[in-house]
């Protein structure tokens, strides 16, 4: 009997059917993917400890003991305990002036409430630590760190029977995390949505696989179809980690205006820009990213200061649902999103597409 090509060491480690990981901020998407045989990691970096506890409970009540993950951001570069007001006071007048110019030129409305960044784990290390403590108390099956090495929590997590995944954009980051003993690495390429490095998915994945030994490597960046899943397995990955794919799903709580923009967008409608957070980040192009890309724009501030500066624009656009201004993290694979499908259908289409692609290669039904 031939081996099931979709049954990988990641499936064995997590007890899941398909090696498909959804990164999402939407609990309904997470539960739909988990209950369809995949794995989901919920992004909680923007939430208070109480909100995180409530979300974990909500998921546990719906997945019948199946595992799930929670993602935080743990950048070592963030300030220790500065408050939002301390940080806002450090933004130079030149940068405020440039932001005001954009606001005026594009008629960007004011946000409807205070800037919702005070609880972001990337703002300072005290906030991130409080979020992390909740995950340890709750013994969530998997902790993932989207930014920054999670090596310092390995002992505490392993003592509690939890697994720790690290996301990297460079092979040397992967090497350090592998030496520290992380349980899996997400090797993410330039195509990806959100914070991402300069190395392409086809280059980083096999490079990290080559140094990983038995540790599962999960490919990320542009993975949106079954062909991508098949290709990732051929590159030596034990699964795929996907973000953009779920944004326009039926269950997704993303604003319908953004869903429509995503369905209409192609790879070239994304921008790899530091202008949102101070770190390279792939998002849908919008006036904010385009103005900062022009010559004469001030140099982008380091994280988290640039994020504080951009948040007035982002929140003003979102709160007032101005489609011409709104943006969202989106990867180059966005062009493969063509309809609003239920998450369960997305999982099954990816599985079927991967099996078809592999069958075409070998001439044998898998």
Would you tell me how many other CB atoms lie within 10 Å of the CB of residue 269?
Answer: 17
Angle at 190 between CA 185 and CA 191, to 5 degrees: 105
Q: Does 286 bind ligand FMN (CB under 6 A)?
A: no
Which positions from 131 through 150 interact with ligand FMN, judged by CB under 6 A? 146
Which positions from 59 through 78 interact with ligand FMN, judged by CB under 6 A? 71, 73
* Shortest Å, Cβ 41 to ligand FMN: 7
| Cβ contacts of 35 within 8 Å, gap of 6 or more | 62, 63, 64, 66, 344
Q: Cα–Cα distances in Å, from 327 out to 45, 56, 187, 256, 283?
A: 19, 28, 25, 12, 7
* Shortest Å, Cβ 23 to ligand FMN: 3
* Shortest Å, Cβ 344 to ligand FMN: 18
Beta carbons of 208 and 171 less than 8 angstroms apart: yes
Nearer Cβ to ligand FMN (102/232): 232
Binding residue for ligand FMN, selected from 29, 184, 329, 346, defined by CB under 6 A: 329
- The DSSP code sequence of 80-132 is SS--HHHHHTTS-HHHHHHHHHHHHHTTPPPPSSS-TTTT-TTT-HHHHHHHH
Q: Where are the alpha helices (DSSP H) in 240-284?
A: 256-264
Q: Does 252 bind ligand FMN (CB under 6 A)?
A: no
Binding residue for ligand FMN, selected from 150, 226, 304, 333, defined by CB under 6 A: 333
Tally the C-alpha atoms within 13 A of residue 266's C-alpha that lie toward its C-beta: 1
Give the chain's end-to-end CA distance (angstroms, integer): 10
Q: Which stretch binds ligand FMN (CB under 6 A): 31-39, 237-245, 295-303, 350-358?
A: 237-245
CA distance 241 to 220: 5
Binding residue for ligand FMN, selected from 117, 127, 135, 167, defined by CB under 6 A: 167
Q: Does 166 bind ligand FMN (CB under 6 A)?
A: no
* Shortest Å, Cβ 21 to ligand FMN: 9
Tally the C-alpha atoms within 13 A of residue 224's C-alpha that lie toward its C-beta: 26
* Shortest Å, Cβ 164 to ligand FMN: 13
Nearer Cβ to ligand FMN (36/249): 249
Nearer Cβ to ligand FMN (36/244): 244
Of all residues in the shown chain, the one whose CB is closest to ligand FMN is 146
Residues found near ligand FMN in the complex (CB under 6 A): 23, 43, 45, 71, 73, 146, 167, 188, 191-194, 220-223, 241-245, 247, 328-329, 331, 333
């Amino acid at each position: 009997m031939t081996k099931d090509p979709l049954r990988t060491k990641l499936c064995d480690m997590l007890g899941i059917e398909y090696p498909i990981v959804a990164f999402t901020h939407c609990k309904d998407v997470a539960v739909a993917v988990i209950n369809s045989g995949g794995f989901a990691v919920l992004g909680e970096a923007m939430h208070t400890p109480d909100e995180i506890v409530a979300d974990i409970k909500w998921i546990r009540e719906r997945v019948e003991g199946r595992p799930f993950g929670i993602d935080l951001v743990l950048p070592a570069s963030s300030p220790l305990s500065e408050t939002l007001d301390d940080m806002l006071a450090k933004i130079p007048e030149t940068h405020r002036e440039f932001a005001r110019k954009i606001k005026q030129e594009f008629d960007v409305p004011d946000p409807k409430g205070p800037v919702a960044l005070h609880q972001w784990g990337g703002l300072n290390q005290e906030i991130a630590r409080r979020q992390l403590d909740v995950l340890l108390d709750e013994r969530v099956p998997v902790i993932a760190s989207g930014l920054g090495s999670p090596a310092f929590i390995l002992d505490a997590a392993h003592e509690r029977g939890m697994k720790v995944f690290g996301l990297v954009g460079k092979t040397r980051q992967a090497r350090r995390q592998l030496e520290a003993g992380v349980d899996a690495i997400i090797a993410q390429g330039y195509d990806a949505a959100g914070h991402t490095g300069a190395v392409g998915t086809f280059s980083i994945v096999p490079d990290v696989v080559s140094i990983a030994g038995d540790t599962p490597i999960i490919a990320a960046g542009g993975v949106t179809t079954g062909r991508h899943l098949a290709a990732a397995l051929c590159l030596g990955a034990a699964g795929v980690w996907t973000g953009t794919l779920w944004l326009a799903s039926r269950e997704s709580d993303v604003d319908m205006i953004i869903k429509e923009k995503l369905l209409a967008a192609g790879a070239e409608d994304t921008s790899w820009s530091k202008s949102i957070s101070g770190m390279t980040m792939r998002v849908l192009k919008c006036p904010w990213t385009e103005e900062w890309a022009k010559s004469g724009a001030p140099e982008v501030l380091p994280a988290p200061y640039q994020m504080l500066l951009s948040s007035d624009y982002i929140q003003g656009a979102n709160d007032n649902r101005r489609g011409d201004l709104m943006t969202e993290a989106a990867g180059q694979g966005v062009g493969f999103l063509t309809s609003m499908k239920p998450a369960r259908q997305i999982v099954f289409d990816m599985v079927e597409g991967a099996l078809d692609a592999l069958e075409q290669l070998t001439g044998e039904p898998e």
